[in-house]
Amino acid sequence: MQQLHPDDVIWRNARLATMDPHHSAPYGLLEQHALVVRDRAILAVIPEADIPQEHPNCVDLQGRLVTPGLIDCHNHLVFGGDRAAEWEQRLNGVSYQTISARGGGINATVTATRSSTPETLLALARQRLLRLMNEGVTTLEIKSGYGLSAESEEKMLDVARKLGRDNPVEISPTLLSAHAVPAEYRHDPDAYITLVCDDIMPALWRKGLFEAVDVFCENVGFTPAQSERVFKAAARLGIPVKGHVEQLSNLGGAALVSRYQGLSADHIEYLDEAGVKAMAASGTAAVLLPGAFYFLQERQRPPVELLRTHGVAMAVATDYNPGTSPFASLHLAMNMACVQFGLTPEEAWAGVTRHAARALGRGKTHGQLKAGYVADFIVWDAQSPVEMVYEPGRNPLYQRIFRGEAV
């Protein structure tokens, strides 16, 4: 270890669930260890016995559990309105087609988002963000996709940027203009894809408003051919891609994402072995979204055992959105991933730390307690990480550390 400076902070007397796979214990657990933090990053992970006695800047955690900050790698946090009333209608027997014909569904959210001021969107999104932060989230993705026009998509992404600027959290913004066909293009979806590729994407990329491009490749979204047009346009600009794929059917979307070295393939309930092998070959992460599976009462589960067999990283995320997963709780998503999809608690924790970091292109800097990684970590009044998965309504968060500072 380097010579310590007086300004270095040692977070000592802790049980570290490092989530570092090089440690053999479950969760990468290290008893009686300390984190040395310098310049907003982890300088070293050291045994308690190696702490210099004379160091002036120590924080005694009194044996508490410390984990990496949680990462929500699939989130639609910014939108206007809500769809509680139409959910009630569906439960009362009104079909989705009828609701959609009345202007409901995603069109209702698009309308509400377009008509909302940036200030309103920011206030609503911040309330949702605080719920995630209070559970220990330090990094999260925010997708656009409820504007579906250059002006409204920019408005959403600008709100996401302000959230990251004004709160102790790191935002990974994603352009999801290819989320649905807006009403004005309903008779010519190919023309809308042209707008996305030739106008919306390059203009907002030049403004630095996003870092990846997403597409909803599905029989109620965009075809593989239309999705590939978006990926090709992104590739020309050097933009990483990801995809909502294989949620309701198998269109080969995961293999398409993998062909473009995509960061992640998300949902993937109908993923087959060919798609899994493609993801394994490209290093594309699988993002499991049990909230939508639960809320839509789906029956087709993601092929978790195939993903394990082929060594595909499995991330877990909230998919927080007004239509299919209105759950701003990553603890709940972890519990659902175990109960509904058969993940182990340790896999669920990897899914919201190191694998979620990988899904956001941050696998070498986030999601582990390890030298060289950002100093984002959570102190819990808990003995084991399983407690947050087992009982999602109880939040034992003691302290949230972002970039080395208690917040």
For the chain, give every domain's residue range. 9-69+368-406, 70-359
The helix-helix angle for 118-133 and 150-166 (nearest 10°) equals: 50
> CA torsion 62→356→267→137, rounded to 10°?
50
Q: What pLDDT, on a 0 to 100 scale, did the predictor assign at position 402?
A: 98
* CA–CA distance, 202 with 132 (Å, rounded to integer): 31
pLDDT digits 0-9 by tens, 334-366:
999 999 999 999 999 999 999 999 999 999 999
Q: What pLDDT, on a 0 to 100 scale, did the predictor assign at position 335?
A: 98
Taking the domain 9-69+368-406, which CATH number applies? 2.30.40.10
Asked whether this chain's domains 9-69+368-406 and 70-359 adopt the same fold, the reply is no
* CA–CA distance, 221 with 287 (Å, rounded to integer): 19
* CA–CA distance, 384 with 381 (Å, rounded to integer): 9
- Residue ranges in the chain modelled with pLDDT below 50: none
Burial group, residue 3, by CB count within 10 angstroms (0-12, 13-18, 19+):
exposed
Give the bridge partners for 402, in sequence order: 405
Q: What pLDDT, on a 0 to 100 scale, did the predictor assign at position 102?
A: 80
pLDDT digits 0-9 by tens, 197-224:
999 999 999 999 999 999 999 998 999 9
Burial group, residue 48, by CB count within 10 angstroms (0-12, 13-18, 19+):
middle
Give the bridge partners for 310, in sequence order: none
Local structure of residue 48 (DSSP, 8 states): G
The H or E element containing residue 382 is none
Parallel/antiparallel/unpaired status of strands 9-17 and 29-38: antiparallel
Q: What pLDDT, on a 0 to 100 scale, did the predictor assign at position 1?
A: 60
pLDDT digits 0-9 by tens, 119-149:
999 999 999 999 999 999 999 999 999 999 9
Full-model pTM: 0.97
70-359: CATH architecture:
Alpha-Beta Barrel (3.20)
Q: What pLDDT, on a 0 to 100 scale, did the predictor assign at position 330?
A: 98
Residue among 158, 167, 81 nearest 126 (CA): 167
* CA–CA distance, 297 with 316 (Å, rounded to integer): 18
Q: What pLDDT, on a 0 to 100 scale, did the predictor assign at position 20?
A: 98
Residue among 322, 313, 381, 380 nearest 352 (CA): 313
